[in-house]
């Protein structure tokens, strides 16, 4: 084939920044300050002046091109600035979840080899405790928030505000090749070591552009979006790029995602009309509205991800004029890979509303049967969900041996195995019906059932252990432990809690234990999780 004769312009994050500056320089960005009461407000233009300043700072500090810059930070304007300053100056931002266990933080930061770590003041103690592990490669610790002369630390650090204050607000932005790495985020979902997904400028821009479509997120200049989901969860599902591309007002709730009163007040005072969070937050909002007899709210769309929102929650929020929409995605899909756009509930069946949704443009989905055959998209056939797309990981960052793709197809097309069992219907609605990998999503965090089972199998009284995700009114799902005890043994739940306390993160400890006499098995001799789920999925709903 001959080539077209059109310009090649790089799909890089810089082009989003420059487009927004040309059209939307006066648009607002509002952040709830760390006092939880007052707000910081500025314009896109102010933000990108500071982005240039931090890019100049990184050059002045001689941070290598291609270096990873770790961020341990909340949803604030400063963290937002890092999402541009780092990649647009040819470094790679690496968002780190401060709530992970220390062991995982060490694994992740060591794998990334962050040359710089930018950290909130209230997370500084985390880094202090990890310092022995980090000092071989971390050259600078930069502290966010306002300058506080009284702040003491065992680390040699620099204040972000002090650093950028001296710098020029212009920067000669390079035209970065689109395949260049821009960001890094580790998925801690499995029993193996955390695996890093290394986003490119191209994958990020195409993802942001696709989210802009009217039937996906569809923001514009009149929208006001508040990402409640943290920036360390895949850059708050890509909103720092998508919202700026669309010229929307952005509201950052800082570390107050869990404080529903502050969230509600931000929505009302800033006229937020779109927001994104896990179902746990939406349940809290629903309860808050009900308890306070609030009927009017500026919020019109609540996009829910991480796990599926229940129909009763969707119905309740619909009463308040809020369309709660399920979306599906993974760290490996740059966040949203499918969405279930709802204009209103009328005429939609309950089962359709509960589905994960339809793939966004550029996301291909297929179902594989037990013999690797492709299954029809008829809404009934269940198979392993495999995906392919512009914003899907091809492989994991180095130091991660577990590679995601099936490179054995021979047709040069790699597909990513999601580990989920799903159906797809003729209108493209995908629904996850089972988990091949036995993961549990609780309050937006992944818990590995296999990890808990392995820990339990070391207990002297345990013959067999199975952990399933069970429906939970607050956390979406919680791990439920099902045991067969050794002959003549008897175990209480309190013993389990004590036993696991030093072995697992607290959110991984099952919320209840059920003793049974015999496990159900599948035809191939494995414990049938499906049977256990059918029997015990609503255990927490029925036994509160």
- Positions in 171-190 near a copy of itself (CB under 8 A): 175-177, 179-182
Residues 91-150 interacting with a copy of itself (rule: CB under 8 A): 92
Single residue of 84, 160, 252, 416 touching a copy of itself by CB under 8 A: 416
Distance CA 499, CA 509 (A): 10
Task: Pull the structure tokens for residue 459.
Answer: 């207990």
Residue ranges of alpha helices (H) inside 61-157 are: 77-88, 102-112, 124-134
Q: Is 407 in the site for a copy of itself (CB under 8 A)?
A: no
Single residue of 38, 129, 222, 312 touching a copy of itself by CB under 8 A: 222
Nearest Cα to 171, choosing from 83, 86, 66, 242?
86
Distance CA 274, CA 49 (A): 27
Q: Is 246 in the site for a copy of itself (CB under 8 A)?
A: yes
Residues 475-504 interacting with a copy of itself (rule: CB under 8 A): none
Q: Is 349 in the site for a copy of itself (CB under 8 A)?
A: no
Least CB distance to a copy of itself at residue 244 (A): 11
Residues 29-88 interacting with a copy of itself (rule: CB under 8 A): 65-66
Per the CB < 8 A criterion, the answer to whether 338 and 327 are in contact is yes
Q: Is 22 in the site for a copy of itself (CB under 8 A)?
A: yes
Q: Is 344 in the site for a copy of itself (CB under 8 A)?
A: no
Query: E strand or H helix at 431, and its extent?
Result: strand 430-435
Single residue of 11, 63, 185, 504 touching a copy of itself by CB under 8 A: 11
Single residue of 122, 315, 394, 497 touching a copy of itself by CB under 8 A: 394
Q: Is 220 in the site for a copy of itself (CB under 8 A)?
A: yes
Task: Pull the structure tokens for residue 11.
Answer: 């799909």
Per DSSP, which regions of 244-322 are E strands? 249-252, 274-277, 301-304
Quick note: the x/- pattern for a copy of itself over 301-340, rule CB under 8 A, is ---------------------------------x------
DSSP string covering 485-510, please? EPTT----HHHHHHHHHTTS-GGGS-
Taking residue 189's Cβ as centre, other Cβ atoms within 10 Å add up to 20
**What is the total count of residues that contact a copy of itself (CB under 8 A)?**
77
Q: How far does CA 200 lie from the centroid of its chain?
A: 17
Query: Closest CB to a copy of itself among 219 and 500?
Result: 219
Distance CA 361, CA 363 (A): 6
Taking residue 369's Cβ as centre, other Cβ atoms within 10 Å add up to 13
Select the span of 111-119, 201-209, 302-310, 443-451 touching a copy of itself (CB under 8 A).
Answer: 201-209
Residues 418-477 interacting with a copy of itself (rule: CB under 8 A): 426-428
Per the CB < 8 A criterion, the answer to whether 253 and 32 are in contact is yes
Query: Closest CB to a copy of itself among 65 and 102?
Result: 65
Select the span of 207-215, 276-284, 301-309, 463-471 touching a copy of itself (CB under 8 A).
Answer: 207-215
């Amino acid at each position: 084939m001959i080539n077209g004769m059109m310009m090649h312009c790089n799909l890089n994050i810089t082009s989003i920044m420059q487009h927004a500056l040309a059209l939307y320089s006066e648009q607002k960005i509002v952040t709830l300050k760390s006092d939880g009461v007052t707000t910081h407000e500025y314009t896109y233009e102010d933000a990108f002046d500071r982005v240039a300043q931090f890019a100049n700072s990184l050059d002045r500090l001689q941070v290598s091109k291609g270096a990873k810059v770790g961020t341990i930070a909340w949803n604030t304007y400063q963290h937002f600035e890092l999402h541009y300053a780092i990649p647009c100056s040819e470094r790679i931002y690496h968002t780190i979840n401060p709530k992970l266990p220390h062991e995982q933080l060490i694994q992740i930061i060591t794998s990334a080899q962050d040359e710089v770590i930018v950290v909130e003041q209230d997370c500084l103690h985390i880094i202090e405790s990890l310092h022995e592990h980090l000092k071989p490669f971390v050259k600078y610790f930069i502290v966010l928030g306002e300058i506080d002369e009284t702040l003491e630390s065992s680390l040699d650090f620099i204040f972000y505000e002090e650093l950028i204050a001296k710098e020029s607000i212009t920067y000669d932005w390079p035209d970065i090749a689109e395949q260049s790495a821009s960001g890094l985020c580790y998925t801690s979902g499995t029993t193996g070591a955390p695996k890093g997904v290394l986003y490119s400028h191209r994958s990020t821009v195409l993802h942001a552009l696709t989210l802009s479509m009217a039937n996906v997120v569809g923001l514009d200049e009149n929208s006001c979006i508040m990402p409640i989901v943290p920036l360390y969860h895949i850059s708050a599902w890509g909103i720092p790029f998508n919202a700026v591309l669309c010229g929307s007002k952005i509201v950052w709730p800082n570390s107050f995602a869990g404080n529903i009163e502050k969230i509600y007040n931000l929505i009302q005072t800033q006229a937020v009309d779109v927001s994104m969070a896990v179902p746990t937050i939406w349940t809290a909002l629903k309860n808050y509205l009900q308890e306070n007899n609030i009927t009017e709210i500026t919020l019109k769309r609540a996009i829910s991800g991480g796990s599926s929102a229940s129909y009763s929650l969707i119905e309740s929020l619909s009463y308040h004029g809020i369309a709660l929409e399920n979306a599906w995605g993974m760290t490996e899909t740059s966040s949203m890979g499918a969405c279930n756009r709802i204009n209103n509930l009328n005429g939609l069946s309950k089962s359709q509303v509960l589905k994960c949704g339809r793939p966004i443009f550029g996301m291909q989905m297929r179902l594989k049967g037990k013999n690797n055959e492709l299954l029809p998209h008829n809404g009934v056939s269940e198979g392993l969900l495999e995906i392919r797309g512009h914003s899907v990981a091809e492989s994991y960052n180095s130091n991660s041996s577990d590679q995601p793709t099936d490179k054995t197809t021979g047709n040069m097309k790699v597909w990513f195995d999601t580990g989920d069992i799903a159906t797809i219907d003729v209108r493209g609605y995908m629904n996850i019906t089972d988990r091949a990998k036995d993961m549990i999503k609780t309050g937006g965090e992944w818990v590995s059932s296999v990890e808990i089972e392995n820990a339990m199998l070391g207990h002297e009284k345990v013959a067999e252990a199975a952990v399933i995700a069970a429906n939970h009114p607050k956390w979406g799902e919680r791990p439920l432990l099902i045991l067969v005890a050794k002959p003549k043994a008897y175990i209480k739940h309190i013993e389990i809690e004590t036993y696991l306390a030093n072995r697992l993160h607290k959110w991984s400890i099952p919320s209840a234990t059920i003793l049974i006499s015999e496990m159900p098995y599948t035809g191939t001799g494995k414990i049938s999780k499906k049977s256990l789920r059918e029997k015990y999925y609503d255990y927490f709903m029925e036994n509160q």
